[in-house]
Amino acid sequence: MDPRSVARFVEDAEHQAMAHRLYTLVFPMDEQNDRVLLGMKKRGFGRDKLNGFGGKVEANETITKGAERELTEESGLVTKSIKQCGLLLFYFEKDPVAMEVHVFLVDRYEGAAVETDEMRPQWFGIRDMPFERMWADDSHWWPYVLRGQKFVGQFWFKADQVTFTQHTLRAVDSLDFA
C-alpha cells in the first residue's frame, strides 16, 4: 500500500488488503455568496457528472500538493488556502482496486475559473447542489461540509458505477491519522 495512504486507519482487514489508488477532490468555495464551484466532467471517469476538481495523486507529491495541482490544471484557480475536510473510500464491484479520495475545501484562491479540456466550471449555491447530476454518494456527505464537520465515508458501488449498495459515514474530530 502507498505509504501516503491512511485507509488502514479506517478500513477492516479485508479492505486494507486491497490495492488503493490515491485521489483528491477539491471544492472552491465563495463563502461571501454561499457558492461552490463544480465542474462538468467532459471526459474519462465520471464523464457528464458535476463534481469537484481533482484526480490522481502523483508519486512525487503529497496529497495536498496533488489537490492544488489538480485544481489549477482543471479550473485555472491557484489555491491560497486549502483544508482537508473528508476522506472517502470507494469500492467498485469487480474492481480489485479501491479509490481513496481526500476531500478538500479552498476558500482563498487566485485567478478566475476557466473551462479546460477536462472540466467546464459552474458556480452553484452551497444549499442548492445539483445532486441529480452528481455522484450518488455526494448528497450523503455534503451535509457534513455544510456543518463544518470533518468526515470519513466508505461507499460500495455496483459495477455500473452509479448505484451504491451500502455505505458508512461518520464525523471525525481529525483527519490526521499519523
Cell of 67: 489537490
Of 91, 59, 63, 75, residue with least CA distance to 27: 75
In a domain, 21, yes or no: yes
Whether 71 is in a domain gets the answer yes
**Domain count within the chain:** 1
DSSP label at 32? Answer: G
Query: Residue 61: inside a domain, yes or no?
Result: yes
Is residue 6 assigned to a domain? Answer: no
Q: Is residue 49 part of a domain?
A: yes
* Averaged pLDDT of the chain: 94
Does the residue 137 lie in any domain?
Answer: yes
Residue 177 has a pLDDT of 81
Taking the CA atoms of 106, 6, 177 and 165 in sequence, report the sign of the dihedral they define: positive
Q: What are the residues whose beta carbons fall under 8 Å from the beta carbon of 66, sequence distance 6 or more?
A: 22, 24, 55, 56, 57, 58
Inside any domain, residue 156 = yes
Name residue 19's beta-bridge partners. Answer: 97
Position 178 pLDDT exceeds 70: no
Tens digit of each residue's pLDDT (9 = 90 or more) over 60-106: 999 999 999 999 999 999 999 999 999 999 999 999 999 999 999 99
Q: Within a domain: residue 23?
A: yes
Question: Residues 100-143: pLDDT tens digits?
Answer: 999 999 999 999 999 999 999 999 999 999 999 999 999 999 99
pLDDT at 9: 87
What domain range includes position 35?
13-172
Domain at 94, CATH number: 3.90.79.10
pLDDT at 152: 97
